[in-house]
Amino acid sequence: MTDGEKSRPTLILASASPRRLDLLAQIGIAPDMIDPADVDETPVARELPRPHAARLAKAKALAVSARHIGSLVIGADTVVACGRRILPKPADAEEARRCLIRLSGRRHRVYGGVSLVAPDGSVRNRLVQTAVIFNRLGEQEIAQYLDSGEWEGKAGGYAIQGLAAAFVRSINGSYSNVVGLPLFETAQLLKGIGYR
């Protein structure tokens, strides 16, 4: 074991998302522990998508950090927005269908909030915006996608890294942000506090 490994703080991912874990692995980061934050994700009155994503990422990181003093905690949240409207993680296929109809043929934004709580308790935040344009979706395409079940647990009712990739006409910004974690910004946050 090197000196760097001995002195390196415990890295905790405050998320149960397998996508976020896979994304971190893609850039060579393996959290020492996964401890999902139990945070109410309901938007507060008149909360817009951008501040909503930032607030939840920070709340998740702080909630988990309080349980692991002296550790390094990554909290993240992904919000899919159509205009000023925050699209849900659909509870059922009908709600997912409404999301896909709303996104069909339109441009929408995906906001990714990332918060890092350092071992000394200081907090660093980043907010990333990606613009996505969907092709116009036919009823059969929507029905087939709903049948796949891929929409379950996904903000906005779709997974860009899966079958829904066929719906995406264009993307402007971070692809990994749409999947669930903006990797460049996350890596920069970690680098900024000296994590290797």
User: Is residue 87's pLDDT more than 70?
Assistant: yes
- Told to judge if 77 belongs to the known catalytic residues of this protein, a careful annotator would answer yes
Active-site pick, 3, 22, 35, 77: 77
Instruction: Dump pLDDT digits (tens) for 128-153.
Output: 999 999 999 999 999 999 999 999 99
Q: Which long-range contacts (CB under 8 A, 24 or more apart) does 4-11 make?
A: 4/196, 8/195, 8/196, 9/70, 9/71, 9/72, 9/119, 9/195, 10/68, 10/70, 10/71, 10/72, 11/71, 11/72, 11/73, 11/74, 11/195
pLDDT of 1 higher than 50: no
**Confidence band, pLDDT 50/70/90 cuts, at residue 6:** low
CATH of region 3-192: 3.90.950.10
CA distance 181 to 196: 18
For position 121, what pLDDT does the model report?
96
Query: Distance (Å, rounded) from C-alpha 85 to C-alpha 163?
Result: 24
Residue length, the chain? 196
Residue with tokens 């029905």: 143
User: pTM here?
Assistant: 0.93
| Local confidence band at 196 (pLDDT 50, 70, 90 cut-offs) | confident
Give the pLDDT confidence of 100-128 residue by residue, as tens digits: 999 999 999 999 999 999 999 999 999 99
User: To 10 degrees, the CA torsion angle through 37, 174, 119, 11?
Assistant: 70
Task: Give CA angle at 166 (162, 168), nearest 5°.
Answer: 100
Mean pLDDT of 82-95: 96
Mean pLDDT of all residues in 43-50: 94
What pLDDT, in 10s, does the model give residues 11-40? 999 999 999 999 999 999 999 999 999 899
Tokens found for residue 112: 């990714």
Domain-wise residue ranges, the chain = 3-192
pLDDT of 46 reads 92
* pLDDT confidence band for 3 (50 / 70 / 90): very low
